[in-house]
């Protein structure tokens, strides 16, 4: 998992850098050259989608996602662990059903479509959904195994 963490971290930094440069280029072409680039707006839109689809599993895997700890802080340690396991199971179910299965369906439905400005196949943009689901599922399985190990020790 550490190699996935490093790869995702590097990919997210690279995407942010590309988006910054793309945004800067759009400003230069629009306001200085008075001829806005037709590619950068579409590129930034899809780069943001990919940033989100890769960033959400990365944050989830690092335990940096949004959590309502003020509710769970009142639980007993044994109940807290059960609660975490139930939540992970729900996340795993949603990741597989919505992102992986739904993402594959959306990706297949977009076959034959081409993006307007960059003329790229739309499958390239939509394949981020199942990839995000697979990554989230991997992190979820990692969390579940740690929780079950903790439960055995308790």
Q: Are 132 and 103 in contact (CB under 8 A)?
A: yes
Could you tell me the CA-to-CA distances from 114 to 21, 33, 119, 122 in Å, in that order?
24, 28, 5, 5
Q: What is the pLDDT of residues 49-105, one digit of tens each?
A: 999 999 999 999 998 887 766 677 777 777 888 888 998 999 999 999 999 999 999
Q: What is the pLDDT of residues 137-151, one digit of tens each?
A: 999 999 999 999 998
Percentage of the residues of the chain whose pLDDT score is greater than 70: 97
Q: Give dist(CA 66, CA 48) in Å, integer.
A: 20
Q: Give dist(CA 108, CA 110) in Å, integer.
A: 5
Cα 86 to its chain centre, rounded Å, is: 22
> What pTM was computed for the model?
0.88
């Amino acid at each position: 998992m550490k190699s996935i963490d490093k790869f995702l971290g590097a990919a997210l930094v690279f995407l942010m850098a590309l988006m910054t440069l793309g945004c800067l280029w759009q400003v230069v072409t629009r306001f200085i050259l008075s001829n806005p680039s037709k590619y950068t707006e579409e590129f930034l839109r899809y780069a943001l989608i990919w940033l989100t689809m890769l960033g959400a599993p990365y944050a989830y895997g690092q335990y940096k996602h949004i959590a309502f700890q003020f509710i769970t802080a009142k639980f007993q340690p044994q109940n807290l662990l059960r609660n975490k396991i139930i939540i992970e199971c729900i996340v795993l179910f949603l990741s597989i059903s919505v992102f992986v299965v739904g993402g594959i369906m959306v990706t297949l439905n977009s076959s034959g479509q081409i993006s307007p400005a960059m003329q790229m196949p739309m499958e390239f943009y939509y394949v981020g959904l199942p990839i995000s689901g697979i990554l989230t599922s991997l992190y979820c399985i990692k969390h579940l195994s740690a929780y079950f190990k903790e439960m055995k020790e308790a």
